[in-house]
Amino acid sequence: MLYNRSARCFVAGRYFLPIFGSPTLDKLSAHSVLEDQFPGEESIFQWLPQIHRHVDPAIARNVAECIRSKSDLLIVYRSMKEPEGLERWISPKALVSDGRRWHVRAYCHARNGYRDFVIGRIATADRTRQHDSELPVDDDWETVVPIHIIPHPSLSEAQKSLVRMDYNMDETGFVMKCRKALLLYALVGMGLDNDECPPKQVLALADPSIRSLL
């Protein structure tokens, strides 16, 4: 650390090494969100405006509590098909975010199967009960699918090298592991649910057949 006389504070010197690992831009930007900077100084970080999906904190809390206690939850769920809502019992398993919205993975007792329920579409969720029987295994949740990602084959070798650098790939690409139940959200989020050509898409699936699992 070096003392900056004009700023009257210590700053990282040329040979400074962090003890707790190298900070990422995401971590550095978090300090800006918390306004951990000099008073009156404009943040160097900027974010694009986001559309936020509504989530009722009380409903989210009840769902989370049922996951912890392994209880059933009576909800009124609204959908595009039933915008007024239908009442049903669910057994919540996990809360999931795809980066844009939250949903709950749950066993639906009305449809006798596991479904994804968008938290913001749950109108009410205030009655609980204990499971009256053992729930079936959620095979799609328990199955882990490897997603092998590579630079798009139609890129030139120089462009592929650039993509590898952008995404910190080695020569074989990289592999992400994802639950089968979340595979669609992962591929859509990366724009890999369909095979698009550059420049729209510079990544590709090494094994496009995994789309058949959707």
The pLDDT tens digits of the residues spanning 26-40 come to 777 766 666 555 555
pTM: 0.81
The CA-atom distances, in angstroms, between 128 and each of 31, 57, 74, 123 are 40, 17, 6, 15
The pLDDT tens digits of the residues spanning 57-112 come to 999 999 999 999 999 999 999 999 999 999 999 999 999 998 889 999 999 999 99
Q: Which pLDDT score is estimated for 6? A: 86
| 18 has pLDDT over 80 | no
Residue among 195, 183, 109, 105 at smallest CA distance from 146: 183
Q: Which pLDDT score is estimated for 78? A: 97
% the chain with pLDDT above 70: 93
The pLDDT tens digits of the residues spanning 162-188 come to 999 999 999 999 999 999 999 999 999
Q: Which pLDDT score is estimated for 145? A: 97
CA gap 86, 24 in Å, rounded: 45
Evaluate whether 120 touches 149 at the Cβ level (below 8 Å).
no
Q: Which pLDDT score is estimated for 8? A: 85
Mean pLDDT (whole number) for 158-163: 97
